[in-house]
């Protein structure tokens, strides 16, 4: 039986808890009077408070206990008790069975019809709890991911008894074979699993005895299963049909693309095939259409590095360069910079290959070499489009570099990426491309180098013993930061970490491995950065065509953290592991 306590409304409770201010409270009540909308609906639509704070207040008003599902392991028997399709439809998660009482987390615990339906279906007494929509979606998506693996196995079983017999005759693949329900279903499941697990790439690699299916998750390839060799051609043919590629052409590399929608997420898939000695290898790149635009702090920038980078991108003219290897997050950083710069008062144009992240209000162009639209040709056209800000996806040659520098000289802000290992290496690379040193010294504002490290899974994080020599090396790195007067004077965030590490023993952490992180010990990624600002001293070194090492030494004297130092700080904070920093930065 639910106990209702409506002596206080949700908005008044939120105000009492200082979660909304008096102006926000007045706005909610004013809209209620003028529109007749339900007060609860107005609070939700206005977004003045987080989902978690809202559901806690809702539960308190109506006498329903709040449950936080984060970190909870849902027993398999409860998943079977209430099928995923039913749980998804009614936004519920059964999470505990105690005798004849079934505890159910619900987005709407006042839905008595759903409670009665679950009681009839399970023959247990339902105890409703309130939770957020985000928590329910996350738990159900995790369960769906596990269920997909089981469905793939079932489809493999089915297909091995039907379609495989056709392939074994040595005949050509027929249209019926390719479109066979198990084949179509298994390709759909492979794609859905990739989207659900936030994979960036799918690799399907033929071998002598079977085909290996791997997903790149958080920058690292993980093997998911071995698919029977006889099935490989049918699956590849199905993928090629979806991507509108020639299924009978297997001698040369091919490219194609198509889209899939999983839930509310639309994903653009780029397909690339490659003939190998055992058959065609396929790699599928997944690009979410809505993209991922973050704040700089979300990316991992902070302290003096963040201050310097933000100051330089807000200048009206000059060049901003982001460097790093493929897959280091350069595109996301530039998209986040464009989102910050994007206002109605500026005209922003970009030329990219491909357009991976769509930023509303920005004019984005994709190169098309076959039609003659290259980075260089696009840049020339841009200068006739009255731009304020130009983003070039990548500086690949001297012509593009020269056009970018001249655009910066003629009153534009130019953002681009470059493939170098460090921020200091970008200047010598541009000099090698034929750019005059005096032009670089006067146009480059800032160079940011970055890598992505995997974060330790917070659900299975634990302290671990570290060899004495490793701790000694860490102390040496941290001491080098502490000796830098510029950092210690201007970067309070770094000072705080250094002080904490010097007051007691350094504790290092790792992930033990759990269901939340697919037993890897890692979940999610964060950036480590070095930000090189074009100061007077760096400008003079550029004019003298100095080496990357000379430029880096001066930049570090002026307060730049290098990639290793920034990575070590993240290790001391317990965000990532030493092996991750070594993997990407050394």
pLDDT, tens digit (0-9, with 9 covering 90-100), for 452-489? 999 998 888 888 888 888 888 888 888 888 888 898 88
Query: How confident is the model over 183-203, as a mean pLDDT?
Result: 86
CB 478 within 8 A of CB 576: no
Whole-number pLDDT of residue 154: 62
Element (H, E) at 129: strand 125-130
CB 97 within 8 A of CB 118: no
Which residue, 100, 94, 236, is CA-closest to 173?
236
pTM of the model: 0.69
Crossing angle of the two packed helices 468-482 and 563-573, in degrees rounded to 10:
120
Confidence at 118, pLDDT banded by 50, 70, 90: confident
Residue 165 has pLDDT above 60, yes or no: no
Confidence at 346, pLDDT banded by 50, 70, 90: very high
Query: How confident is the model over 279-304, as a mean pLDDT?
Result: 84
Confidence at 171, pLDDT banded by 50, 70, 90: very low
Q: What is the per-residue pLDDT across 486-510, written as a single tens digit (0 to 9) for each?
A: 988 888 888 888 888 777 778 888 8
CB 540 within 8 A of CB 498: no
Residue 394 has pLDDT above 70, yes or no: yes
CB 146 within 8 A of CB 192: no
Element (H, E) at 145: helix 133-161
49 or 271: which leads in pLDDT: 271
388 or 142: which leads in pLDDT: 388
Confidence at 177, pLDDT banded by 50, 70, 90: very low
Q: What is the mean pLDDT of the chain?
A: 84
- Do you know the residue count of the chain? 586
Delineate the domains of the chain, giving CATH numbers in brackets: 10-135 (3.30.300.160), 162-288 (3.30.450.90), 296-585 (3.40.50.300)
Q: To the nearest whole percent, how much of the chain has pLDDT over 90?
A: 33
Query: How confident is the model over 29-49, as a mean pLDDT?
Result: 78
Whole-number pLDDT of residue 179: 53
* Residue 524: burial class (beta carbons within 10 Å; 0-12, 13-18, 19+): middle
Which residue, 12, 346, 586, 575, is CA-closest to 337?
346
Name, in order, each residue with C-beta under 8 angstroms of 542's C-beta and a sequence gap of 6 or more.
Answer: 427, 437, 440, 441, 444, 534, 551
Q: How far lies 65's CA from each of 128, 131, 242, 261, in Å? A: 8, 9, 48, 35
Whole-number pLDDT of residue 146: 60
Which residue, 102, 95, 134, is CA-closest to 121?
102
Confidence at 432, pLDDT banded by 50, 70, 90: very high
Most confident of 157-166, 213-222, 405-414: 405-414
């Amino acid at each position: 039986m639910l106990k209702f306590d409506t002596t206080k409304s949700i908005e008044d409770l939120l105000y009492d808890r200082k979660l909304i201010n008096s102006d926000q409270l007045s706005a909610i009540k004013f809209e209620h009077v003028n529109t007749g909308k339900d007060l609860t609906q107005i609070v939700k639509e206005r977004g003045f408070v987080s989902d978690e704070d809202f559901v806690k207040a809702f539960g308190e008003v109506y006498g329903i206990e709040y449950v936080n599902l984060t970190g909870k392991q849902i027993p398999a028997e409860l998943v079977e008790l209430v099928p995923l399709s039913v749980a998804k439809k009614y936004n519920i998660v059964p999470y505990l069975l105690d005798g004849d009482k079934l505890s159910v987390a619900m987005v709407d615990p006042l839905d008595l019809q759903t409670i009665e339906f679950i009681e009839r279906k399970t023959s247990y007494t339902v105890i409703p709890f309130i939770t957020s929509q985000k928590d329910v979606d996350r738990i159900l998506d995790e369960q769906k991911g596990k269920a997909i693996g089981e469905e793939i196995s079932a489809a493999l079983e089915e297909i091995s008894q039907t379609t495989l017999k056709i392939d074994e005759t040595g005949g050509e693949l027929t249209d019926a074979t390719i479109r066979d329900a198990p084949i179509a279903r298994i390709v759909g499941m492979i794609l859905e699993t990739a989207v659900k697990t936030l994979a960036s790439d799918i690799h399907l690699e033929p071998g002598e005895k079977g085909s290996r299916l791997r997903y790149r998750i958080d920058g690292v390839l993980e093997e998911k299963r071995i698919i029977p060799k006889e099935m490989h051609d049918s699956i590849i043919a199905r993928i090629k049909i979806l991507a509108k590629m020639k299924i009978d052409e297997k001698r040369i590399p091919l490219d194609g693309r198509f889209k899939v929608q999983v839930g509310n997420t639309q994903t653009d898939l780029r397909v690339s095939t490659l003939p190998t000695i055992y058959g065609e290898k396929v790699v599928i790149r997944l690009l979410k259409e809505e993209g991922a635009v973050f704040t700089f702090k979300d990316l991992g920038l902070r302290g003096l590095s963040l201050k310097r980078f933000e100051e330089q991108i807000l200048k009206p003219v000059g060049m901003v360069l982001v460097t790093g290897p493929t897959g280091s997050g350069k595109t996301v950083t530039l998209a986040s910079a464009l989102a910050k710069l994007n206002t109605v008062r500026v005209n922003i144009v970009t030329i990219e290959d491909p357009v991976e992240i769509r930023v509303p209000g920005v004019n984005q162009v994709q190169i098309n070499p076959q039609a003659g639209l290259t980075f260089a040709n696009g840049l020339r056209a841009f200068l006739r489009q009255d731009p304020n800000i130009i983003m070039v996806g990548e500086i690949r040659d001297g012509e593009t570099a020269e056009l970018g520098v001249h655009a910066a000289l003629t009153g534009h802000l130019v953002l681009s990426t470059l493939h170098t290992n460090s921020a200091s290496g970008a200047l010598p690379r541009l000099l090698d491309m034929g750019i005059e040193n005096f032009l670089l010294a006067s146009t480059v504002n800032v160079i940011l180098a970055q890598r992505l490290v995997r974060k330790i899974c917070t659900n299975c994080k634990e302290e671990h013993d570290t060899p004495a020599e490793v701790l000694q090396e860490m102390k040496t790195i941290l001491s080098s930061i502490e000796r830098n007067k510029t950092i210690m004077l201007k970067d309070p965030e770094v000072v705080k970490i250094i002080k904490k590490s010097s007051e007691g023993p350094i504790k290092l952490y790792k992930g033990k491995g759990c269901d939340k992180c697919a037993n890897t010990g890692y979940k999610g990624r964060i950036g480590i950065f070095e930000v090189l600002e074009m100061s007077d001293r760096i400008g003079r070194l550029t004019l003298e065509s100095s080496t990357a090492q000379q430029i880096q030494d001066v930049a570090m004297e002026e307060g730049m953290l290098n990639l290793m130092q920034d990575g070590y700080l993240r290790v001391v904070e317990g965000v990532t592991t030493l092996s991750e920093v070594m993997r990407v930065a050394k």
